[in-house]
Structure 1
Amino acid sequence: MKCPACGKENASDAKFCNSCGSPLAFPGNHDVEDHLPFSNQEDERISPRGEGREVYPQDYYEDRPSKSQKKMAVKIVSLLVALAIVCVLGLFAVKTWKRASLEKAATQAMEEGNYQDATVKFQALYKATNQEKYQKQMTEAHALAQDSESLENAKNLLAQGSYKQALQKLLEVRNHNNGIKQEAEKVLTDLQTIVEGKVDAYNMMQDYSTSIQLLNGLLAVAPENESFLAMKTHALSAQTGMNEEKARAETEAKAAEEKAKKEEKEAASRAKQAKASSNIINTFQYVTSGSANVRSGPGKNYRVNYSLDRGAEVYVYDTFYDGTRTWCNIGDGWISYRTLNGEL
């Protein structure tokens, strides 16, 4: 059957043109002969009884979609909506799964002591969710990471003998109340034991200055540490005692030295006087001073019996040294040898 609108051939039992969609037969009449021709401007639609007809524009049937097309469009839209819902749900499920997986990994990192890794993961969770709990966990993990690093540094410094620096790192750890604090306390005890051994060794060598210098450095970091304070007190006391003993020993040594010098001088003087005395006994001597007192005994404390003028001759029977001068016995008294040989 030829379409009266576009002239295309269609099947004999077709009701609408496969090309333009125009009706090929009127309702109630399926004979080709009963079909009415369509004009170029409008088509006529006859009622079943032929009592009247309505006129439609020529493109009315061309623009109007069929029922099958409408159903197909509804199915497509429904499918697209369903796919969109599935995608949204899928994205939500993936996002939830990723967050749960990341949270599990962060918790495991905390349990294993990988605090730096845990900090990064909790930070990612906080950025993704903006939840306060992840911010708190991130802060806690960061503090633990810092404490862990300080503790490891303290151990290394202690092994190197840098006791002051090691103590500083340990105090950084102890300022936080977390699980690492107990280990830091143990390392601090080890440090105190090592320092005590060092101080004892210095003290045994009486090198108290080195002991005090070491303890002063540690007390500058921890001024209230009772162990270091006790060691310093002991070292200061020992140093004071040593200094006093040293000063006393030096004083005694100096006195002994002076005494020895004095005794040596006196011995030399006695030897000289003894030699001089031995040379003048049983000899005649002459007064060389302006005048010479003759005393009743060998010493200036004895009374003066009489005086001799310069040039007077005396005979020496014996001599006596009183520690200061030599006295000569001239028979009726004692005269100082100084007045005989020109000494004052």
Structure 2
Amino acid sequence: MSRRPTARPDGRRSGRLRRTLLAGLVAAAVVLPVSAAASPNVPAPAPAVLPEGAALPDRFAANLANLSEAARVAENAGRTGRAAKLRAMEAGGGARFLVFDGRGKGRAIEVFGDLESADRVAVLVPGSDTTLDTYQRFRAGAVALEQRLRAEHPRSAVVAWLGYDTPGTVSPAVLTTGRADEAAAELGSFLPRLARMAAPQARLSLLCHSYGSVACARTGTGPEVTDMALFGSPGTGAGSVAHLPTRARVWAGRGGADWISGVPHVSVGGIGFGTDPVDPAFGALPFAAGSGGHSDYLKPGTESLNSLAGIVLGASPTARTGSSPTALPAPSALAVPEVSHARA
């Protein structure tokens, strides 16, 4: 009588299986609720080149001219959809871009409000599928936030920072930190320059949505950044606030109808982002995000918009009474932990 061979565990096979299952879980949670927005690889002129110390009006004028030329080039190449999107970004000639690059998915860093006089500056960092083709929905959030801030504090400005190649919602890149590491390198060098453009000793706040929260959480920040708010976040790749390379106060909030709550908060083999930022174990300060969905955080009149405005203005978003916000303690003076994040 023959004996059946005893099955032996195969470590490599089980590891591959775990990674495959995890990828499937995360992909299903992320992909199914959202349809991807493709960004065509359209022709465009090279970005405007200006000296580091160029005045803001000169910078705005050069980038607006480049945007207009990019729209013309796209139109001539038969890319009428992209051309129409770019013309919408011109906003009647009054748009103010610190950076514009119309090539590929595109890059754009736009200012709302008077940056030079602002002592409260919010930097919005978007998530997946934010490109020049979907820019208007990102811009709408920036406009709503700027209007909300100025109603309470006129010396406010908002910077919409599409400064990285965002991953597609339906792509393997959205499941890893690779694009976030690239973004963190760009954002980390941009923030001190931005602080020098604003009023002396201006407070900067990072407001980071969805995959953008992964990028923010991997960005080393200096004393100019006092607050970092993570919302609609799938995780950060870090186990807790203590592992983030920042001295800023870190906040986290999630809308009641945000589908991102269904994303598995695990990380295996470089796939997934680990601890949920709204979990008390992560150590972030909670803020009230209302009952909205994944794309509702910056909609006018929402509780989440009020909370985010409170964070930018240095008030407790959970203790606001009327128009008199409650002051917060200063950001931690503890040294920034030494965290090694490999750059892609």
Normalising by structure 1, report the TM-score: 0.18
Name the structure with the higher helix share: 1
Structure number with greater Rg is 1
Task: Report which structure shows greater RCO (CA 8 Å, sep ≥6).
Answer: 2
